[in-house]
Amino acid sequence: MRSRIVTNDGFSISVSNTVMLAVPISNFIVFEKRPIILNVTLGRNVSIDTFRNKIETAQVSDNEEKCDRRLHVKGFDNESTAIELWVQVSAQNFLRERSLIVHNLQAFCERVNVPLKKIELQG
C-alpha cells in the first residue's frame, strides 16, 4: 500500500506505507505560522546591535503585521559573524514569503551598506 502526499511546492508524490511508518512526519499546513530560518554571514566590522536595530525596523516580509522575527548570533571568526534570523510567516504563503524575505534582506543590506557575505536557508 502507498500514501499520497502533496509537498509544499504543490507536487503530489506517492510513498510506501512502510516508509511512512518508519519516519516522523510534520504537517506544517495545520499550523497558522511557520518559521523561515536564514543563516546570515556578515562582515566582522558590522555591529551586531546596529544590525539588530536596523533589521527590526526593516520590511523583510510581505505581511508585516504578522511577521515575528528573532536574531541570534551563532558565532564569529576574524572575518565574519554568523547570525541566525528567524522570521515567522503564514504557512499558507511559505514559499512566496521565503523568496521575498531573502530578496528583501539582500536589498536591505545593500541599501544600508551592510557587508553581506552569505544567506543560506536552513532546513
Consecutive 10-residue averages of pLDDT for the chain (123 residues): 76 85 71 84 88 76 64 91 87 80 86 87 74
pLDDT of residue 80: 92
Domain extents for the chain? 31-121
pLDDT of residue 51: 85
pLDDT of residue 101: 85
Overall pTM > 0.75: no
State the DSSP string of 21-78.
Answer: HHS----GGGSSEEEEEEEEEEETTS-HHHHHHHHHHS--SS-GGG-EEEEEEEEE-S
Domain 31-121 CATH superfamily: Ferrodoxin-fold anticodon-binding domain (3.30.70.380)
